[in-house]
Amino acid sequence: MKTTLDSQQHIEPAAPLRKRTVRSRPLATVTDEDGNRRADLVRVSARLFREKGFDGTTVRDIAHAVGMRSGSPFYHFKSKQEILAAVMEEGLVAGLGEVERIVASSTPPLEKFRSLVRAHLETVLGEGHDFIPVLLYDWHALTPDLQEQIIGLKDRYDQLWQKTISELKDAGLIRSDSKVVRLLLLGAINYSVQWYKPGKGLSLDELSEQTVEFFLGT
């Protein structure tokens, strides 16, 4: 028989400093007309997922971080996984925009490459850039159907890099197979998430320079 245990239930305490009728807006955005609640959730989730991992972050953490109660994020998202997917998608869309701009510019391959490396380092290590690190770190936590929904954007990102690296090869600046180069190169940069500490050692500009120098063997 099912029984309801009161001691088992954790009644959420009434939110402090908050009127019943006029509910104060969460602090984050300055001009947020209703629609941005979803955006707030995504942005805050990105930060939490990056800091504590997907499994280490609870829906309650996310809710409270934007001033909601524990069940309310499910009004905006069908599941915790869909929040994760939204975080990754936002990161990819932003990243793609920048990479597309760089690749489309009429500069020599070497300059494009420099810009790509610098941009990718910013995307992965820059202050407040939590979206792509979450993608890199918690990709496995997504269900296959949500992975599929995102993988198209990921592929486009990779293809733009591939194109630039091929140009580098045509220009005689690298000799190895350009697909292997892409994988090793992006891997090296992506992995920097594990060791780079902002404010300690190299700046992002310096790291970018050294990275290009090393990979091009100059």
Partner DNA sequence: CCTACCGATCGGTAGG
How many residues line the site for a copy of itself (CB under 8 A)?
Answer: 40
Residue 29 CB, shortest distance to a copy of itself, in Å, is 30
Residue 198 contacts a copy of itself per CB under 8 A = no
Residue with structure tokens 């939490």?
48
Are the C-beta atoms of residues 80 and 141 closer than 8 Å to each other? no
What DSSP string describes the chain? -----TTT--PPPPPTT--SSSPPPPSS-SS--TTHHHHHHHHHHHHHHHHH-TTTS-HHHHHHHTT--TTTHHHH-SSHHHHHHHHHHHHHHHHHHHHHHHHHS-S-HHHHHHHHHHHHHHHHHSTT--HHHHHHHHGGGS-HHHHHHHHHHHHHHHHHHHHHHHHHHHTTS--S-HHHHHHHHHHHHHHGGGT--TTSSS-HHHHHHHHHHHHHT-
Question: 135-164: which residues touch a copy of itself (CB under 8 A)?
Answer: 136, 139-141
Question: 19-58: which residues touch a copy of itself (CB under 8 A)?
Answer: 53, 55-56
Residue 12 contacts a copy of itself per CB under 8 A = no
Angle 13-15-21 from CA coordinates, rounded to 5°: 125
Stretch that binds DNA, among 76-84, 90-98, 102-110, 173-181 (CB under 7 A): 76-84
From residue 174 to residue 193, the character string flagging contacts with DNA as x (rule: CB under 7 A) and all else as - is --------------------
Select from 3, 9, 21, 106 the one that contacts a copy of itself (CB under 8 A). 3
Question: 48-107: which residues touch a copy of itself (CB under 8 A)?
Answer: 53, 55-56
Residue 169 contacts DNA per CB under 7 A = no
**Based on CB atoms, which residue is closest to DNA, 19 or 175?**
19
Stretch that binds DNA, among 6-14, 156-164, 169-177, 178-186 (CB under 7 A): 6-14
State the binding partner of 80 from DNA, a copy of itself, none, CB within 5 to 8 A by kind: DNA
Given the rule CB under 8 A, which residues bind a copy of itself? Answer: 1-3, 5, 7, 53, 55-56, 136, 139-141, 174-177, 180-181, 183-192, 194-195, 202, 207, 210-211, 213-218
